[in-house]
Amino acid sequence: MSDDDIRRPTRAQGGPLALQDHDLATACAKIIGADNVLTEETARDGYAHDRLPYANFRAREGARVGTLPGLVLRPRTTDEVAHLVSVAAKADHPVIAYGSGSGVLGGIIPLGGEMTLDMQRMDQILEIDTENNLVRVEAGMNGGAFEEALNAKGYTSGHLPQSLTISTVGGWAACRGGGQESSRYGKIENIVVGLKAVLPDGRVLEIRPLPKRATGPSILDLIVGSEGTLAVITELTLRIWKLPEAEEALVFALPTRQAALALAKRIMQTGLHPRIVRLYDEKETKGRTEGMDAFAARPVMANVVLAGEAPIVAAEAAVVREFAAEVDAVETESTPFDAWRAHRYISITKQWLDKGYYNDTIEVTVNWTQAAALYDTIAAQVAELHEDAHFSAHWSHVYPEGVCQYMTLRLPPMDQSKALPIHARMWEIATGETLAHGGSIAHHHGSGLFRGAWMDGEHGVGMDILRRIKAAIDPQNLFNPGKLGFPPRAGAVDPYRDRHADVANV
């Protein structure tokens, strides 16, 4: 292929493919075949946004937050990805890696006709290493299919997010995700031990899966969580665990949120290894415990699941019961937990969106010393925004030093010209107060597009370091521009242009 095969494309904002993009499509078809180059507008429209609630709000009005991708490419191998990236670099056409669009922060939204790399054809487990408890898998494999295949061999990935069945393994690593059993197995950055990834210059980075290193800063940690801004992950090596032989689920009714947080803190700081810890505030508890007398006087619920070898499970369950009694908790039937587990991979947000509501979720982390105050402060300020504004929270990822507070915020159906500014203010309150309380603005959803404005507040001087790394690795700003607080390319659309516009007339 010569440079004559590649011409600089225009940045299509939508509509039919630009003439120059046809030239680029021809060049890419030589690498992956014409059937794997999607050029039709209807096909590209399916990649225009992920599950970012703000984008779905706008889609209800027939509007896009960003643009259509200029092309959608479906590679099958790491070598094909590397060749496509080289073509894109020569054409100076930016690239966005795409898993299955399950993200909720706009991380895959094109802002200027970027070329989308759909990784879902790279969907195979390459090796299960039972000697070292490792699995090597392609980045585009569906999370549910991955876990099912491991279960059939007697193993689990330990990474079970709500989005399990609609996400990819590569997407987990790209956004530094966390599963519902993170208190036992860790988040994805604790599970990934090796990878292959394509850099913006087309070179392939390979990190060998070893137990530990003391050879300078971790390159693995630089890539995991970079959301396609520094590299396109094509293959991962992850830890796996034998499926536990025993399990015991405990459900407690507690008098206050503070008591529930104290229980979780005690469990984790004692060194127990629960599979699941889920604490619910009064609002979220009520919806799950209707008709259960124990919760009339104790309106806060905690679910604690112990797993492993039977003697260890029995011993840990006995310790948890002792801790629960010390905070005036009462053990109840496991019905609420059983109901949650039966529907653990179903998104609640979509159910509200389908009814015309403005529903969003924000997950942050904070140390134990600030957990109760953070909840109270955000709840009070959100309540002042609108008489029907909903705020609730649960705590479903707990650690020795602190906790993830997972908040649900909702407005009733109303005109978007009124709803969007309030929604924006909700985010400002939740994120600003998290930083003011010494917390982190994200636990497992990543940062994508929507959290970009707060990345400097999150990292401080560290954000300058990240920008310099981005500029050194990707001087063309080729990979996923405008995400993670990195700058967009010239000519990019403003994704928030409708917050202050007359959105009633789209």
69's tokens: 């991708």
What is the SS3 assignment for 166-203?
A: HCEHHHHHHCCCCCCCHHHHCCHHHHEEEEEEECCCCC
What mean pLDDT comes out for the span 205-219?
97
* CATH ID of 348-445, from 1.10.630.10, 3.50.50.60, 1.10.10.370, 3.30.300.330: 3.30.300.330
375 is catalytic: no
* pTM listed for this prediction: 0.94
CATH topology for 246-342 is Alpha-Beta Plaits (3.30.70)
What mean pLDDT comes out for the span 247-257?
98
Cα angle for residues 73, 51, 97 (degrees, 5° grid):
25
Cα 380 → chain centroid: 27
SS3 at position 18: coil
Q: What are phi and psi of 135, to 5 degrees?
A: -130, 140
Residues in the chain: 506
Give bridge partners of residue 96 from the DSSP assignment.
Answer: 116
The type of residue at 81 is V
Kindly list the domain boundaries of the chain, sorted by start residue.
Answer: 3-119+468-473, 125-242, 246-342, 348-445
What mean pLDDT comes out for the span 405-423?
97
Q: What is the dihedral of CA 46, 51, 57, 61, to 10 degrees?
A: 10
Q: What are phi and psi of 342, to 5 degrees?
A: -65, -25
Q: Which of these, 327, 312, 225, 245, lies nearest to 279 by C-alpha position?
A: 327
159's tokens: 């990474």
Binding site members for FAD: 227-233
More confident residue, 128 or 6: 128
Give bridge partners of residue 222 from the DSSP assignment.
Answer: none
**Tens digits of residue pLDDT in 64-93:** 999 999 999 999 999 999 999 999 999 999
CA-to-CA separations, 410 to 377, 390, 460, in angstroms, rounded:
17, 5, 30
156's tokens: 């689990």
Radius of gyration of the chain (CA): 23
Task: Provide the percentage of residues in the chain whose pLDDT is more than 70.
Answer: 94
Active-site option among 54, 185, 375, 406: 406
Res 391: pLDDT: 98
**Tens digits of residue pLDDT in 118-130:** 999 999 999 999 9
Q: How far apart are CA 137 and CA 125, in angstroms?
A: 4
pLDDT band at 498 (very low <50, low <70, confident <90, very high): confident
Cα 385 → chain centroid: 27
Q: Structurally, what CATH architecture does the domain formed by 3-119+468-473 represent?
A: 2-Layer Sandwich (3.30)
**Tens digits of residue pLDDT in 135-186:** 999 999 999 999 999 999 999 999 999 999 999 999 999 999 999 999 999 9
pLDDT band at 197 (very low <50, low <70, confident <90, very high): very high
Mean pLDDT of the chain: 94
CATH topology for 125-242 is 3.30.465
pLDDT band at 7 (very low <50, low <70, confident <90, very high): very low
Res 350: pLDDT: 83
475's tokens: 């001087």
DSSP secondary structure string for all residues of 241-296: EEPPSEEEEEEEEES-HHHHHHHHHHHHHHT---SEEEEE-HHHHHTT-TT-THHH
Binding site members: 227-233
What is the SS3 assignment for 81-144?
A: HHHHHHHHHHHCCCEEEECCCCCCCCCCCCCCCCEEEECCCCCCEEEEECCCCEEEEECCCEHH
Q: At what angle do helices 368-383 and 257-270 cross, to 10 degrees?
A: 150
What mean pLDDT comes out for the span 465-477?
98
What mean pLDDT comes out for the span 223-248?
98
Q: How far apart are CA 325 and CA 37, in angstroms?
A: 61
Give bridge partners of residue 427 from the DSSP assignment.
Answer: none
Q: How far apart are CA 214 and CA 312, in angstroms?
A: 33
What mean pLDDT comes out for the span 484-492?
97
Q: How far apart are CA 174 and CA 184, in angstroms?
A: 21
E strand or H helix that includes residue 367: strand 358-367
The number of beta carbons lying within 10 Å of the beta carbon of residue 152 is 8
Residues 6 or more apart whose Cβ sits within 8 Å of residue 204:
78, 82, 196, 197, 198, 234
**Tens digits of residue pLDDT in 351-389:** 899 999 999 999 999 999 999 999 999 999 999 999 999
Complete edge-to-edge strand list for the sheet that includes strand 276-280: 330-332, 246-254, 300-308, 276-280, 390-399, 402-411, 358-367
